[in-house]
Structure 1
Amino acid sequence: MKLWLTITALFVLLAGCDDMARQPRAKAQEPSVFFPDGKVNQVPPAGTVARGDLARDAQLAERPTMSMALLQRGEERYQIFCSPCHGLAGDGDGTVVSRGFPRPPDFVEPRLIDAPDRHFMNVIAHGYGQMYSYAARVAPADRWAIIGYIRALQLSRRAELRMLSESDQSTLEAQP
């Protein structure tokens, strides 16, 4: 008797599932009689936040602590996204320049040395001049890593020999 009730209940449940496949629906961009404006696609309610946007905004808000791991990640991301135009040294002599593209600025220009980190963040996110936006390509955490690496490039290209330790100075002087 229990088996018969279980089988009957299973058939009743399965029979009800098919109704969902035949319910009315509308495709995107089609007209709709359901909404007063006659459109299927509706503007999200005020205050709506897309899933993941709060976490993304939190990553953009504050620069992470400088670390060797951050610089290594920044170097990797810089070489992937930035070096084709800006060059490996950040001097604006990337491979695309040799193919006729406009030369980007050198990162050791005084205006870029004095620029706040937010400037680089905005350029990565929104583009600047001939550079288009990389917001969809470079994650917020990687933007900070790239900025850290740009700062390291700026420092390394402006460093004076006397700032190095004696062993580092002798190593550099011994190289051809």
Structure 2
Amino acid sequence: MRVAAAIVSFLLLAACDTGTEQRDAVASTRTVQRGYEPVPPGTVPRGASAQAAALAPPGPERTPALLARGEERFRAFCTPCHGVSGRGDGPVVSRGFAPPPSYHDERVRALAPEQIVQVITQGKGRMFPYDDRVLPEDRWAIAHHVKELQARGVADTPRQGSATP
């Protein structure tokens, strides 16, 4: 009886080990790649109308919670280039990247929050689009934070490296 139990145990354990010697040759990050298929004419991708509604002006109501969220998202996504105060003096600029325009330039101060949201969504100049990185409600929060920075006049001091008058 013990011999039969040992044989059955051996067979069960041997069956569990089948194929392990081939695992080293198989990539653990296999992906299925499909060719690009454009959206058929006359159709709308899922979620497109909800995203369009979320980006439509006038956006969410400006509240202290929205401004706090905007500051937090601004620090995460915008400060590497634009700097904490929006002067265009972020850490990447000190490492050789071209500085972005200051939020306190007259041209940028004239932008409405919906225009800032559009720039975040589509990008402009050297800035690439953040539509796949920043949620629509966070784009509005960032835009309102930028307007708050402009209203506070945080960047009254000149950029680093520029001559003082």
Bin of the TM-score, shorter chain as denominator length = 0.5 to 0.7
Select 2:71's aligned residue among 72, 75, 82. Answer: 75
Shift of 1:46: 2.8
In 2, the alpha carbon distance for the partners of 1:158 and 1:125 equals 25
Unmatched segments (≥5 aa) in structure 1: 1-26, 30-40, 160-176
Letter in 1 for 2:144: G
2:117 is paired with a residue of what secondary structure? helix
Give CA-to-partner distance per residue, 1:108-132, whole Å, 9 cap, x none.
1111111222321221112111111
Give matches, 1:63-102, under 5 Å: 63-102=59-98
The aligned residue for residue 56 of structure 1 is 51
Q: 1:28 to 1:77 in 2, by over 3 A?
A: closer
User: What TM-score does the superposition give when structure 1 sets the normalisation length?
Assistant: 0.64
Q: 1:28 to 1:147 in 2, by over 3 A?
A: closer
Q: 1:91 to 1:139 in 2, by over 3 A?
A: same
2:86 is paired with a residue of what secondary structure? coil
Give matches, 1:104-123, under 5 Å: 104-123=100-119
In 2, the alpha carbon distance for the partners of 1:154 and 1:44 equals 41
2:72 is paired with a residue of what secondary structure? helix
Shift of 1:158: 6.3
The aligned residue for residue 129 of structure 1 is 125
4+ residue runs over 6 A deviation? none
Letter in 1 for 2:56: A
Let me know the Cα RMSD of the aligned residues.
2.2
Count of aligned residue pairs for this structure pair: 123
User: What TM-score does the superposition give when structure 2 sets the normalisation length?
Assistant: 0.68
Unmatched segments (≥5 aa) in structure 2: 1-32, 156-165
